[in-house]
Amino acid sequence: MTSTMIGLLLLAFAPNYVTLLVAAAFVGLGSAVFHPESARIARFASGGRHGFAQSMFQVGGNTGSAIGPLLAALIIAPYGQHSIAWFAIATLIGIYLLFKVSRWYATNMPSMQRGGHAHAEASPYPRNVVIGAIIVLLVLIFSKYFYIAGISTFYTFYLIDKFGVSVQDAQMHLFIFLFASAAGTLIGGPVGDRIGRKPVIWISILGIAPFALALPYVNLFWTTALMIVIGFVLSSAFSAILVFAQELMPHKIGMISGLFFGFAFGMGGLGAAVLGVLADHTSIAYVYKTIAFLPLLGCIAFLLPKSPRATATA
């Protein structure tokens, strides 16, 4: 949270592009350090409802991402760059809350687990099955976050360029999409607890393919409607994917959380950069037509084994 606070203050007073990049790096570093361990603590605090706990944890971040464009339209656009500094107050609140969480963690986590010497819980699958399933899950993360990078990064520019909406209206449309994504985050984990992770993963990625393929060819009303469906359904995937991976390697929860959050963030950043270059050489509309095929990679979810929960309850 301290790193994020430094990044926000730098963003508020950045005099040039290089400082802007440094500020973004501080914000990204803060997020990267926070997520893996937080996901591990969320699992520990879940009471066995691992999917539900991950969904609740992630909906906080997705809600913040949704509110971001709204605040940009209502505060930063009219009041300028320096108004970003006020958001640093939120990081101070976060620091206080994390002190509380760390004390709870120290009190409740058994000392042998804190020291990393707990008896390792065995994986329910052979090693080759685990490795294959992890690779499949990473490919699905690639398809989800590469697609999300193209959608969310260029959505405002797409609306402005194709439909001639104002900057503030475009930000409001982005807020609607991200809010739908936050709402969908609540679904994937609890549903996965009930019916297994694999069906949720299958539906949430492959299920949006028809909507993604239609998106570049519809008017403003249907663009908004399709984006709501895409955001809601696709966002249910990550909780299910992460918990599935944790169940594949229950003795490596921290490592798996770091791997999947890091890969997700990395694919989002790489996707934004690669698709930005593509947009410069073609158009944003062409980018949307190209990435529309990425959700079809969801078909490889059939290669996943039955989730451990589904196996246990079968």
Per-residue pLDDT tens over the stretch 120-147? 566 778 889 999 999 999 999 999 989 9
The CATH number of whichever domain residue 277 belongs to comes to 1.20.1250.20
pLDDT in tens, 22-37: 999 999 899 888 888 8
**Helices of type H across the chain:** 2-13, 17-44, 50-71, 77-79, 88-108, 111-114, 127-163, 167-195, 197-206, 209-214, 220-234, 237-248, 253-281, 284-291, 308-313
In a domain, 208, yes or no: yes
How many structural domains comprise the chain?
1
CA distance 109 to 102: 10
In a domain, 32, yes or no: no
- pLDDT-derived band at 115 (thresholds 50, 70, 90) equals very low
Neighbours of 75 (CB within 10 A): 14
In a domain, 303, yes or no: yes
State the pTM of this model: 0.76
User: Domain range spanning residue 277?
Assistant: 124-308
In a domain, 69, yes or no: no
